[in-house]
Amino acid sequence: MREHRRTFLPAAGRDWLLPLYDTFVKLLGGDAARAELLAQADMRSPARILDIGCGTGSLVILIKRLHPDVEVVGLDPDPRALTRGRRKAARAGVSVQFEEGFSDTLPYPAESFDLVFSSFMFHHLRPDEQEKTLREVRRVLKPGGCLHLLDFVGQAFHPHGVHGLLARVVHGAGRPGHSHDRPILALMSEAGFADSKDISRRATPIGRVAYYRAFVPAGEISSTTSAGGVG
Whole-number pLDDT of residue 161: 44
CB contact at 8 A, 137 and 56 = no
Domains annotated on the chain, with CATH? 2-215 (3.40.50.150)
CA distance 60 to 95: 10
Calculate what percentage of the chain has a pLDDT beyond 70: 69
Whole-number pLDDT of residue 47: 87
CA distance 192 to 134: 9
Whole-number pLDDT of residue 175: 42
CA distance 75 to 176: 24
Whole-number pLDDT of residue 229: 47
Q: What are phi and psi of 220, to 5 degrees?
A: -95, 140
Q: How many CB atoms lie within 10 A of CB 87?
A: 12
Three-state SS for 211?
strand
Q: What does pTM read for this prediction?
A: 0.79
Phi-psi label, residue 12: left if phi above 0, alpha if psi -120 to 50, beta otherwise: alpha
CA distance 113 to 75: 13
Q: Which residues of the chain have pLDDT under 70?
A: 1-30, 154-182, 206, 220-231
Q: Which residues pair with 201 in a beta bridge?
A: 210
CA distance 166 to 193: 34
Contacts of 203 (CB under 8 A, 6+ apart): none
Rounded to the nearest 10°, the torsion over CA 185, 191, 195, 198 is -20
Query: Residue 174 half-sphere exposure, CB side, CA atoms within 13 Å?
Result: 12
